[in-house]
Amino acid sequence: MPVEASVVEKALYCNGRRVEAPQSLREAMHRLHEPDNPMAWIGLVHPTEAQINDMAAVFDLHPLAVEDAIVAHQRPKLERYDETLFAVLRPAIYLDDSETVQIGEVHIFIGPDFVLTVRHTDRISLGKVRQRLEGDPELLARGPEAVLYALIDFVVDAYAPVIAGLENDIDEIENQVFESDPAVSRRIYELSREVAELQRATKPLLQIMDALEGGFDKYGTDEELQRNLRDVKDHATSVVERVDGFRSNLADILTLNATLVAQTQNEEMRRLAEAGMDQNDEVKKISAWAAILFAPSLISGIYGMNFHHMPELAWRIGYPFAILLMLVVCCVLFVIFRKRKWL
């Protein structure tokens, strides 16, 4: 399959204005040597290994950078290979329906007179960046570095709705924690994973911006671009700090939730213990009264056996004696249970 099959946009620009689009990558490369010094900007999406290799052959890209573009799943970074810059950015979008963050991946090759973008995601389009620059010929006329600035600025700005979505999720989680929602622990864990993934996408941005800033003097970066890139760095720093804050907030919320769950469990155990003690008291009372009532039954049962040879049967005072014995035994048992606080 030819490399043009994965090309979503290709154009030539002269002095910041779009001119006739080339029919192929080789035509674009050939026209870059024309006297008016045009710049080529070509965007690809999900190219195959063969297509990337064809592109690398046309624009003479470094094999290590090409390998990274083929393998994908790279961390954000900026590397220089001779006159070509290779950058990896990880744009993100927030999905309201699933309340998740989806991280994309964009590889950028910046040459002296060309820009190649390799997009490994369908959800994030770079069309707005091209529209912005085509609407600002003065900025686009500053060359490929202006395109790199606009791409980084687009990625950093796109983190704003993601951060807003995560802030809303954290607020909801805090309410769930205080409402003792049993599903909140799972949600905290899932959101912590989302934040960790976003942190891995945003934190290296500061290294990228530092590397670009370090090359301002060496590579003669336009002064206006320097100011723009410093502004993007400030925004990126704010994004990184807020994402780091989310990680800390979620850790605190998880600790708070564990504390509240432990308190709830302790309260439940206390109630169960109190219920058990109350039940034991009732059992003691029942057992004490059962013992008191059993004593008269035992005495009356003995004297009700009707054996002929029982000395007490001939007593004149046998009946009063039996009744008195029952009362004495019951009173003694009552006093004993009372002292032991069974009654």
**pLDDT tens-digit series, residues 28-56:** 676 666 666 788 888 888 888 888 888 88
Q: How far apart are CA 266 and CA 251, in angstroms?
A: 22
The bridge status of strand 92-95 relative to strand 77-81 is unpaired
How far is the first Cα of the chain from the last one, in angstroms, to the nearest whole number?
94
Confidence of residue 2 (pLDDT cuts 50, 70, 90): low
User: Can you list the alpha helix ranges (DSSP code H) found in the chain?
Assistant: 25-31, 49-59, 63-71, 127-134, 137-140, 144-178, 184-202, 204-214, 223-303, 318-339
DSSP state of 20: P
Confidence of residue 276 (pLDDT cuts 50, 70, 90): confident
Residue 7 has pLDDT above 80, yes or no: no
In sign, the C-alpha dihedral spanning 265, 267, 271, 276 is positive
Residue 334 has pLDDT above 90, yes or no: no
Q: How far apart are CA 172 and CA 168, in angstroms?
A: 6
- What are the residues whose beta carbons fall under 8 Å from the beta carbon of 49, sequence distance 6 or more? 70
| SS3 of residue 84 by DSSP | strand
Q: How far apart are CA 305 and CA 286, in angstroms?
A: 28
Of 5-14, 95-104, 114-123, 200-209, give the range with the top mean pLDDT. Answer: 200-209
Q: How many residues does the chain have?
A: 343
